[in-house]
């Protein structure tokens, strides 16, 4: 089968590899859609932690089930949870498989789905429930956002500042809105802020390059500052800056990931009795919440798709998606 391999930072190569065989306890998928996410882009840049080369990228996937799996039908449209957990570590025993001590993330720790077929644990399968391949490929990134909102314990009426208006940040905004929050989007890209206003109906947007970000937040929140700040940038500067935007008693959740060390004023953080949390991956509960929200019309996932390419063109097009000038929100690869 034709497979696209990230051989080193900045380099892709198409390779012919044997298609995986059907095995007991595993599900064989014929890949139909591949979403390109920040993890893939950062891996291509060489800035993604937990990463080794060569690697087949791709974990935002939708496909047709090509093998017998109990409870599923061959040919059924499916997606899957791409965080394969051990089932026995302290996190797994505590109901937190998303942060398993021995986690194997498809497309990061092991080869992903940038090919024609992929074998995954059968226990990771998720029913498509009538959603299209395009929609199913977007379930996973939206689940990341839904999980971050759940980690934050977002309550109706409170102000939630989402730092970063990329695909993950947009998903956080959507599920914060569904939870009843008043959302504020912060980004340095005016085109993405316009997308938030025009396509997601986000009432409050702020350019991160403005000299008065804190003052704008005070005005929007009637002097209180946001009670929840969620970072979706993976930018060390943005993460460190946002400590200053948090209300007293607030919660700060890091969804974005970077390699450096955090730096913030301990007295300022301490006097707020603030809470700092990370949010890693998502759980089946989050996947089910996303699918239910899609089916109820609360989220329109295809809104995010700005670029669409056939599999044969990924190598040629991929580097362009790193350039903000291309206006990419979500690139979707069509296979077969």
Find the mean pLDDT for residues 1-21. 95
CA distances from 120 to 14, 63, 66, 82, 88 (A): 22, 12, 11, 8, 19
The yes-or-no verdict on residue 42 having pLDDT over 90 is no
Partner residues linked to 277 by β-bridges: 253
The yes-or-no verdict on residue 49 having pLDDT over 80 is no
The yes-or-no verdict on residue 168 having pLDDT over 80 is yes
Quote the percentage of the chain above a pLDDT of 70. 100
Cβ neighbours of residue 97 under 8 Å, at least 6 residues apart? 83, 85, 87, 91, 103, 283
**What would the DSSP string read from start to end of 49-75?**
SS--SSB----EEEEEE-S--TTS-TT
The yes-or-no verdict on residue 258 having pLDDT over 90 is no
The yes-or-no verdict on residue 20 having pLDDT over 80 is yes
The yes-or-no verdict on residue 273 having pLDDT over 90 is yes
pLDDT (tens digit per residue) in 86-140: 999 999 999 999 999 999 999 999 999 999 999 999 999 999 999 999 999 999 9
Find the mean pLDDT for residues 251-280. 94
pLDDT (tens digit per residue) in 310-332: 999 999 999 999 998 898 999 99
User: How would residue 54 be classed by pLDDT, with cut points 50, 70 and 90?
Assistant: very high
The yes-or-no verdict on residue 228 having pLDDT over 90 is yes
Find the mean pLDDT for residues 140-164. 98
Q: What is the pLDDT of residue 50?
A: 73
Residue from 304, 295, 281 nearest 128 by CA: 295
- Alpha helices, DSSP H, located in the chain: 38-45, 90-93, 133-137, 139-152, 167-178, 190-199, 213-220, 236-242, 266-271, 284-295, 314-317
Q: What is the pLDDT of residue 134?
A: 97
Quote the percentage of the chain above a pLDDT of 90. 91
Alpha-carbon distance 56 to 13, whole Å?
10
**What would the DSSP string read from start to end of 88-124?**
SSHHHHTT-GGG-TT-EEBTTTB--SSBSEEEEEGGG
To the nearest 5 percent, what fractions of the chain are helix, strand and coil? 35, 25, 40
Find the mean pLDDT for residues 21-49. 91
Characterise 316 by phi-psi region: left (phi > 0), alpha (psi -120 to 50), beta (else): alpha
Q: What is the pLDDT of residue 190?
A: 95
CA distances from 244 to 3, 124, 222, 227 (A): 45, 39, 16, 12
Q: What is the pTM of this model?
A: 0.95
The yes-or-no verdict on residue 39 having pLDDT over 90 is no
Find the mean pLDDT for residues 188-201. 95
Structure tokens at 96: 């937190």
The residue ranking higher by pLDDT, 301 or 197, is: 197
Q: What is the pLDDT of residue 260?
A: 84
Q: What is the pLDDT of residue 336?
A: 83
Complete domains list, the chain, with CATH:
2-137+300-334 (3.90.180.10), 145-278 (3.40.50.720)
The yes-or-no verdict on residue 162 having pLDDT over 80 is yes
The yes-or-no verdict on residue 196 having pLDDT over 90 is yes
Q: What mean pLDDT, rounded, does the chain reach? A: 96
Alpha-carbon distance 198 to 220, whole Å?
19
């Amino acid at each position: 089968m034709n497979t696209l391999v990230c051989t080193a930072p900045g380099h892709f190569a198409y390779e012919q590899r044997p298609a995986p065989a059907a095995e007991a306890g595993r599900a064989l998928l014929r890949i139909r859609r591949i979403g390109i996410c920040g993890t893939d882009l950062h891996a291509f840049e060489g800035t993604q932690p937990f990463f080794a080369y060569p690697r087949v990228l791709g974990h935002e996937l939708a496909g047709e089930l090509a093998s017998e799996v109990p409870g599923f039908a061959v040919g059924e449209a499916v997606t899957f949870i791409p965080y394969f957990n051990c089932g026995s570590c302290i996190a797994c025993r505590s109901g937190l498989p998303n942060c398993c001590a021995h986690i194997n993330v498809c497309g990061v720790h092991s080869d992903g789905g940038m090919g024609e077929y992929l074998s995954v644990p059968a226990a990771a399968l998720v029913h498509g429930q009538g959603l299209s391949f395009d929609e199913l490929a977007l379930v996973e990134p939206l689940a990341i956002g839904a999980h971050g909102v759940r980690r934050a314990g977002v309550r109706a009426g409170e102000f939630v500042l989402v730092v970063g208006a990329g695909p993950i940040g947009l998903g956080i905004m959507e599920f914060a809105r569904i939870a009843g929050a008043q959302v504020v989007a912060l980004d340095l890209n005016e085109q993405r802020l316009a997308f938030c206003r025009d396509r997601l109906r986000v009432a409050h947007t702020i350019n991160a390059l403005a000299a008065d970000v804190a003052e704008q937040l005070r005005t929007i929140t009637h002097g209180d500052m946001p009670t929840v700040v969620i970072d979706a940038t993976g930018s060390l500067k943005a993460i460190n800056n946002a400590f200053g935007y948090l209300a007293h008693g607030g919660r700060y959740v890091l969804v974005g990931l970077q390699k450096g060390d955090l730096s913030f004023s301990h007295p300022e953080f301490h006097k707020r009795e603030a809470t700092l949390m990370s949010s890693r991956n998502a759980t089946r509960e989050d996947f089910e919440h996303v699918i239910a929200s899609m089916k109820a019309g609360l989220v329109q996932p295809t809104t995010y798709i700005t670029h669409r390419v056939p599999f044969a063109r990924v190598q040629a097009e991929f580097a362009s998606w790193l350039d903000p000038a291309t206006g990419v929100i979500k690139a979707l690869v069509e296979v077969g």
